Amino acid sequence: MGVVPAIFLGGVTYISSSGVIARTLDDLGWMGNRETPLILAVLVIEDLVMAGFLPFATVLLVGGSAGRVVVSIVLAALVVVTILTVAARYGPAISRAVFSDSDEALLFGILAVLLLTAGATEALNVSAAVGAFLAGIVFSGPAADRARSLLVPLRSVFAGTFFLFFGFEVDPGTIPAAFPAALVLAIVGVATKVGTGWIAARRAGIGRRGRVRAGVALIARGEFSIVIAGIAVAGGAEPDLGPLAACYVLLLAVCGPLLARIADRPAPRSASPRS
């Protein structure tokens, strides 16, 4: 691969799946664990990194100059800082304004903020996905709690539709050839994510089991990796990137939750010595 496809591949392998990891934390009952805030902090940082990475990679994909690359990164940083500032200062007020006892009114209010934020970021050549993520940060309190339950069915539908469209871009005959490279990348990805979680938990003074849980929780990759690969494939950067990303995401989307369940098992007690 050339430099530009390699940069996109770096994004594919870097970003963990917030959706898969959040569901795993909830299913395993880890939400109250000491290491969970660290896991969520790492996920937020990764998503914010995407705010600069996606415009940077997109400009490279279309053959932009160095000056245009710098402008796109600075613009993305300004957008992120602006939205985060608004969320910090006016987030509770926006949540109160949108909140309603009517499910329909609340849903339409949240979707209005979502479309406004995502549309603005897309118009500024920052990813609409990053804009949607930043819109979610704005909401808090009862509005966020009610919206979470209302949007779960929509999330499932749109996630399935997105993966369907990505599947249209992948030729099944190319997957076996991409599997060896995807497996090597998956092994490296597991090692680096476990190391990241271990180091973060250790710095917070968390014990060994908590460090292991923090590491394995970050393994899963998912929708954002597919988004990055889809941009590269649609832009004609590297056709082989599609099946490689599909194999990679499939491996870690399955291995991540499985390894988390294994890590959650209590350590076997040593057998008492016979008399």
Coil, strand or helix at 219: coil
Helix ranges restricted to H, the chain = 3-14, 18-27, 36-61, 66-98, 103-123, 128-138, 141-169, 175-203, 208-217, 223-234, 241-264
The single-letter code of the amino acid at 128 is: A
Work out the end-to-end distance of the chain between its first and last CA atoms, rounded to an integer number of angstroms: 65
Spatial separation of the C-alpha atoms in residues 102 and 173, rounded to whole Å: 49
Spatial separation of the C-alpha atoms in residues 140 and 15, rounded to whole Å: 25
For residue 99, is it within any domain?
A: yes
Would you write out the chain's pLDDT as a tens digit for each of its 275 residues?
788 888 899 999 999 988 788 888 888 888 889 999 999 999 988 888 887 787 777 777 776 666 767 777 777 778 778 877 887 888 888 888 888 888 888 888 888 888 888 888 777 766 676 777 778 777 877 777 788 778 877 776 776 676 676 667 667 777 888 899 999 999 999 999 999 999 999 999 999 999 999 999 999 998 788 888 888 877 777 778 888 888 998 899 889 989 999 987 765 554 444 43
For residue 157, is it within any domain?
A: yes
Range of the domain at 145: 3-263
Coil, strand or helix at 10: helix
For residue 153, is it within any domain?
A: yes
For residue 23, is it within any domain?
A: yes
Please name the residue that has the structure tokens 């990796």.
Answer: 225
pLDDT in tens, 111-132: 888 888 888 877 776 667 677 7
For residue 154, is it within any domain?
A: yes
For residue 127, is it within any domain?
A: yes
For residue 272, is it within any domain?
A: no
> What CATH number is given to the structural domain containing 149?
1.20.1530.20
Q: How many structural domains does the chain have?
A: 1
For residue 161, is it within any domain?
A: yes
